[in-house]
Structure 1
């Protein structure tokens, strides 16, 4: 029997990773002699690990890790499932925790599991009593796909049955395993030079919900009577907390210790130590404390370890603690109640026999939940599932296959960007400094990096964002309009830019206001956006209007109660509809008497307005103009863009050459929004067809994407590809790429959660 395990894994510092490794070793490999384990039925067990990476970090994994998945990269999940399906594995065991998988509420794991061609067992480490809609939907889907669901407490079973409506016959209770490591308490204390101390301990990944301040506040009363008390907080700050807040919580705890004059009694050991060293500390402790701040903790590995080693545990009454410390195996105190904790500590420190009795009961129970016993239960569960040979859930392939896409790369964009902004033109793949910068491209660049960061948490993208935002701010005039062009020597080259450039800037700023990565960016974007807002009604260019409508729509998605901005959007949509009604006729459902450039942006703007305003007329014109454009440009099954050589005049002939990437981008955005509104899968087919224009599905059958430079060529002419790779074309490609991934995710979400 060959088992594949999916979860985090050491050396990544994560509690789920320790669990995955312990489970793997207890089921498959003897870590000392590297032999294959034999199940009780005489069946050989082997396996390997698919490890989850965070924030694009790389780890030096042990040899059992055969594949890695970057948390926020959708394509990695699909590559991994193909690897698993071809690896000869018989069964998959998934360690599920919302925070270790990418997408909203860990949704990226769903398409992977739906493509799995072997039975699935899932271990649930978190089961929420009051989940959000998506949290509940994601967990329900995982439970549907799993043949067996392993939980570690009776409360977890109750939640699965009553809240998530899971068939109780699917659920197995296997308690959290404990390593079979034992040390003598006195010898351990001597090793840490604590033989004359009363040693209190809390360990684990540190974050605010751990309630360590409750213990610190309880200590002054205890130390008055027991000055020999030392309290150690052992563990590193949670990596997600570090990523977003740094050491704010740890610094607060240090300040609290100083304020209460406890510096000789509280020790912080900011390390992620191995199990052997951890069990020495646990064995040395007189009392182990878990002071979590609320009951919503269905499983605690740290608590299991403490009970397993025979510690005297005092804990708040979170769900796992109330079960594990039952029958005298520990003591409970109320959440955030330092007074009650002080009383229990004083009672137990003054009664060695009571402490000894708690330790004995805990140690006796710990012998029943060792990893060897838990591992055997998992092995037999896996064997039973394989023997049943359950029918595996299968589904049809999606209309979009992200694995057909080249790897996403910002290399060319970084090459074009300096500390002023993004250079607008290039000679082949080399920035053309002579042409300087323009507002359009810096607005597109801001939009692209914000999208990238929102989807993948790419730090490179986030680092570029302030460059483009500061360029936009620099180019704004006092009346809220914008200059467009700036020379390489930072000289203004115009007084007021085009309405197109104005609209594209508002689009990027509106997106920023709806998806700001931090408050500083939001406040700057808000300032520039609202300084520009008085100019919205002055716009005359239909593409300037359309681009502005996109920005207003993104703003309104985050601020739906801004009635003034909703009215502005309604007025702008009215202008487009007026143009449509003035120029359309039988056989020509369009806004002007020609198809020119960036055509898809016009129906796109109305599709966004339709979503925000819910007006039938807007929807009607949006769909009519989109269908007309589709008939002209997708009639042969691939995208044939209107060339800007002579464009396409009503009752004239369309230009084939001088096709440009911004037109492909507009079509892709248009079909994404159409799918978002209608849920018609046919729009995804069209969207993906339009993206493949970049990769050779076009009139010349030549790829515009340069696999060497990672840039996109500027278009194609009658003589062939224009090999220059300026900012406009490369940004159009990258935004299109990100839209394809967004559309794929939206489709998967609709399919999997319906």
Structure 2
């Protein structure tokens, strides 16, 4: 599928003064900066007949109470062929009962909608619930900024978990600085600065903080509380500045005039960051628990500020485990005590600053934009799966996986010897040299790129992988060596059974599919020489890899009776392994799960098709279906077997670490099952598995960089492994090659009567 070119964001926009406008504008800028060829536009809401001097990024305005404007906006977005619409939802910014007018726009759109909920109501009115249910139905993905939002969407509104994404509020990527320079610039040198910023309204709890000032001043006489922000426009419209004046009166009555400063300003981001920089403590004394998102909190935390806050939902989540200080609602004594303690304890304050800054690096707008782009891709993917479910076997030309094949990183991982094993981030790591495992995989990739529609690897590079395999062959032992140092010295005289089997697999495919007739003959000859020893192997994966190789070899060398005998013998051994272990709830070949699991099932399915053996086929399909129950999260996304659980006896798979090799194996096995049975569900599963690479996974983190074709080495419990080694990049590219071929198939496949398996 082609990359996104046009994205529309619906919401408020600066210079309108509100938090949604700030968020929408920041999000539009962050997504625009993420790719130079991406066009991001804002469709903005205008309130109560107001008009604003909008920037060029705003391409259309909607009057909140004019239903015809919503209809006109939908027509504009459809005619403009936008790829996705991202709606910023807050009940108060749309017209109609409970903001129902926005549904007229959404219902007419022809592209996926991704909706960010800035508020999730725990106790909605009947009208609010009705609007929310229709909003969820119209959206391919729902984004909330805290896990509490996910919980409430599931429990209150029954939203499926796989429709929800949690993406924290973005923050500027600002350096970690001491407050002194900003204090001097803004006129607060020598003061201990407490800051609150944002639009003033009674829900912000400013009066509680004012009441706490006398207690703070007892311990820090230099303290000053800066309240930065204009009064909320709606409040000004209805009451004028009565609320601000009441706060100032309260200050005078407490005698803290010299220690509370009101700055009636709506500042730009650069000025705002200077004010946050000068603060020693940031405080959010909000009075309402049901505050799902606070941009002011996110920004201050992201600049490494110690935060004292009441326990509204966003603060509880962000500041838990000592990342900030939580105080009870409306308790001026508690607020004063905690702020005074922070202002008089420099080491504690500094430690809290450093921790907040370090933790918040994952929240920068750059990272937020990455997460949104993944959500957009998943939304497109989800729409495609709906088509599959509705229409049965269909072409997958619109699958998100059918993207361009970028080989830059793969090529950077190769030298004149072969493919390096490992990398330090994206830089090849020569310390670990090479292995035949990865160079065999690279030879498999070279064969896959001989398919129609792909750009072949250069003859020189393909020959290099073949030469590595040839050099790995040790005729004295009848085995392939595996590990080679960077100095081209072999580190062993024979490799593992699995590496031998994988090398045979590459040779079998090379014998069938290589572009060079001479190299096909070479591969067939070396395969035949290295095959017999496999009969002595005990590893089920070595048997499976060899069977995959035999599928290619036997198609290329049809008169090798001995190879056909070994093929049946190896398949029978896998069948025996399955029979000895299988129970109704454990349909597998071993007592535990390990790596490359789906290759065992794939080997039997392929062998069953090639030899017209229904028993092999049925066993392969049965075991693969069971394996998918173990590798599918309750939310529907792919969850590959984690390395932490390798070898555990009959235990549910561990969640981490998750590795690309498992995804590639599962994609190939599912597409093999589809070719065997012709059932569209296997195509849908394969595409869902590929989405794991793109970010539809437990951490919602994309593992691949589509611009370079690099792939991270896996998912840890809290992050992606930033190293991008040989196995990972080849696994991704093999999976991509499989999906790209699938995308070119425009008819469903019906299995022959001889291979139809009833009841599997």
- What's the TM-score, normalizing by structure 2? 0.49
